Structure 1
């Protein structure tokens, strides 16, 4: 974990030094300590740093959300995007943008809450569809229903976007591709309370996730209240994914790749897996966002993550026993 933390710091420094307008390391250092021109201060503190911080926070939130969902479903292919949670949050955000096309006039601090409501309603629908009396929740049903609901919501979003003005449609199309659109400190402040609440809760529930990874009969035999704990963890995963989607757009695969890479580094025990997933997710997203700003000339971050994630998803699918 220490190595990943150092890599995040290194990419953080590189991100401050690079962009459409180049700032040398000396200029960045001088500006950080109160020097520099008004233009350099504006570029670094008002544009670059908020975006970097949001990339780190969103990467951590999505990766932990994916790790929780993989533990709940006992399926390594689960993540917030595949289970429909991102689509549910995205549908509410699209409606939000329809009413508030100018983000300057939009109630920004309500956006994570609204996205959470959309994600929560979607998760509730998936949960109800997956529940069978006398059997409870089947992880396989949960995953398959999530994929089906996600497809339906994506179709609804497509219909909504076709009715938008060309300006709103262009913005939503970029947002759905995974463009980090919340690039000011007010978005950081809106997102931070959700992560400060839900990340510690998720880490605290690490032992429960270890138990849920066992078979249903074994977990019950160990005295774990399976359905109650599963609901709590599902709510935490929904809250993390929904609040992150509100400021990052429809970025996929971070919740899939992050936990898998972390599992290769520290093993399956969630006491180490959850925090390592958070660090890996942060590193993955800040690297992708830096590449989008420098090499790819502003290409949405989600597309770069998808270029990495799609082959890895196919690799995992090929190795799956299902």
Structure 2
């Protein structure tokens, strides 16, 4: 059932370098699911709205659930953690519920939940198990509770009785999974999880006024039937869309361009600005609407973009 080549990446995936890299790593870790030993997991992380969930759900869509009279097979399975989980048993209960079963009531005997979870994973023939919002399993500080959770995740990755690879998706805080124990005065268990992982993939913010931004913007504007945008003719329009993008990244672009009732065709730039202005008012919390030419004229847009570019490169320097 594994995708045979990363060339099978769907056209619905946004043409953004870090999303392509995430796709390639998803494919790579998926291929490792049949290993008996030396299996690896993957961490996808990044800021809110950078496309993490979008990417894994696109991958998930290539592997529909197969239902027969005897069994339900789910080659790729996705579960999102909506609240904090303090112990491995808490996490197992959520995963079991997501798999369509009910965990035993009360406090089960040691190993009962893990056995139930593994049985369900084998019955559904899950090759790739994706857990989103993985930072929900991390306590605020290192300690015995964090160590127990990390050891549990290690045991899942290493399990020889499962032919399953695991993908963890989370915020930038999720990177602490790989750095656990590095701080002073904590339980020193460094490298416990990191040595079982492929190189983590960070989903990055797109550089303003870059060729990549041009490709991404055109991907979205064509979803509403608008013509291809060009530089320098549409420089101001590219910038206005980027100023909106700075709020919630791809989540903002999806709100602007992928509404279920979006138009199939927009004739000219004034119509496009009017449509985007209305969508922005509905979906954004910002006071200044970058698509409202009365709130921001061309010079103000250019000035704002100069500040955005400076902040972008300052952030890159800080990360280095």
Q: What range describes the TM-score normalised by the shorter chain of this pair?
A: under 0.3
Q: Which has the higher strand share?
A: 2
Q: Which has the higher helix share?
A: 1
Q: Give the TM-score normalised by the residue count of structure 1.
A: 0.23
Task: State which structure, 1 or 2, has the greater radius of gyration over its C-alpha atoms.
Answer: 2
Higher relative contact order (CA 8 A, sep 6+): 1
Q: Give the TM-score normalised by the residue count of structure 2.
A: 0.23
